[in-house]
Amino acid sequence: MAVKHKQLNILIGDHFFPGSLGASYARAFESLGNVCVRFELSLTTYSTIQHPGTTRLTRAHCIKAMNQALRKIVHETRPDLIFIIKGKELDPEALNDLRELSTAPIFNFNPDGVWSPFSSSDYIVDCAPLYDCLLTPRRWELPKLKQLGGQHVTWLPYGYDEKLHYPTTITEADRALYHAAISFIGTWAPEDRISLLSDIARYGNDLRIWGSSWEKLKPLGTLFHMLSILGLHIPKQLLGLGSPLHNHIMGYPVYGELFLKVVQASDINLAFLRKADRDDHTMRTFELPACGVFVIAERTQDHQGFFHEDIEMVFFNGDKELLEKIGFYKKRPRLRQKIARAGLERLRSSPYRYTDRAKTILSLFETIQSI
């Protein structure tokens, strides 16, 4: 029998860009009969904080203004649960203020890693003991978060949003426009994904790379990145110039309907991990098979637990095995389709939706409330 939860008023704080976790969780909670209020952890404030020319005084002013807005919306909406995704901008003072305003438990889910060298902040570490529940998709973070004083530290995997990730039929025109033998959708990162993709390109494979920040790719990455910060557009034809990935970088991220078109038009979809965050799985672990497409992903404990190897998803370790798997499956479209169908069936028969993750959060809420 399904567990029924009482209706809650839930405040979700996130950057609500296309395909954001906050939007998916809001839909998930609402599908379970709850009311969600979306609070924008302001993208304008976020970009101001990141800009190298911004003064410390200006950053402090932006953070203070956003914290005031958060206090205001908590006072007005009286949430039963406050759910913060990442919360890089929230300082301890902001959380303590929320404590004074509301008795609602404050949950945090950090998709980017508390100790990420690229996307964390001192605030995330300093605030860890102030949350009533810390949720992480990384098992290795569990003991470290407890050492920081984290309460109710819980492993919560990523999932997929049925409104965003599903099999679809694309037109022949779209297939011709977006087709690639191999596609990777993801942000630039200075780690071994560059090496893996470069090896694929060197072997003459039809490779397309979709995502943001690829102007940082060496050897001209420093120059191009500074130009982009100044607001100058870097033409796609220049991205990756001087590297094996030149002419493979598409120059922009893909979300929503365009994401569906790209993955459906690709023979092989790659799912790489963020080594800086020490991931064992990512959002793509579920998003790609939810679209009914063939996936090759890195072999990890999480991946092998979520999907049967070579039956529902294909795994690899290192450049050599990846190239071997690509060479093997490129020539076997029927086998790719069979594995893609099996992966989709596994996904649909398992509790991998964000609705299922939301149920876990609601159960934790009830546990904390009963203490």
Asked whether the beta carbons of 3 and 32 are under 8 A apart, the reply is no
Multiple choice CATH, 9-159+353-370, 1.10.357.10, 3.90.1210.10, 3.40.30.10, 3.40.50.2000: 3.40.50.2000
pLDDT of residue 50: 53
Nearest to residue 158, comparing CAs of 283, 289, 344? 283
pLDDT of residue 17: 84
Q: Kindly state the average pLDDT of the residues 12-18.
A: 91
Report the chain's terminal Cα–Cα distance, integer Å: 25
Chain segment 184-196, per-residue pLDDT in tens: 999 998 777 899 9
Q: Kindly state the average pLDDT of the residues 34-60.
A: 68
301 vs 124 pLDDT, higher one = 301
151 backbone dihedrals φ, ψ, rounded to 5°: -105, 145
Task: Quote the percentage of the chain above a pLDDT of 90.
Answer: 71
pTM exceeds 0.85 for this model: yes
Chain segment 291-332, per-residue pLDDT in tens: 999 999 999 999 999 999 999 999 999 999 999 999 999 999
Averaged pLDDT score across all residues of the chain: 91
Q: Check if CATH label 3.30.9.10 holds for domain 172-212+252-348.
A: no
pLDDT reading at 45 higher than 60: no
pLDDT band at 202 (very low <50, low <70, confident <90, very high): very high
pLDDT reading at 47 higher than 70: no
pLDDT of residue 65: 82
DSSP assignment letter at 211: -
pLDDT of residue 113: 77
Q: Kindly state the average pLDDT of the residues 89-104.
A: 92
Sheet of 35-40, strands arranged across: 35-40, 9-14, 81-85, 106-109, 133-136, 154-155
Q: Which residue has the tokens 């546990």?
A: 367
pLDDT reading at 125 higher than 50: yes
Asked whether the beta carbons of 322 and 297 are under 8 A apart, the reply is no
Nearest to residue 253, comparing CAs of 279, 226, 283? 283
pLDDT of residue 2: 56
pLDDT reading at 43 higher than 80: no
Tell me, letter by letter, the H, E, C secondary structure of 67-106.
HHHHHHHHHHHCCCEEEEECCCCCCHHHHHHHHHHCCCCE
pLDDT of residue 57: 57
Select, from the ranges 99-113, 177-191, 290-304, the one with the highest average predicted confidence (pLDDT): 290-304
pLDDT reading at 231 higher than 90: no
Q: Kindly state the average pLDDT of the residues 119-128.
A: 79
Residues 6+ positions from 42 with CB-CB distance below 8 Å: 62, 66, 69, 89
**Pairing state between β 180-185 and 9-14:** unpaired
pLDDT band at 46 (very low <50, low <70, confident <90, very high): very low
Q: Kindly state the average pLDDT of the residues 133-156.
A: 96
pLDDT of residue 51: 53
Q: Could you give the residue range(s) of every CATH 3.40.50.2000 domain in the chain?
A: 9-159+353-370, 172-212+252-348
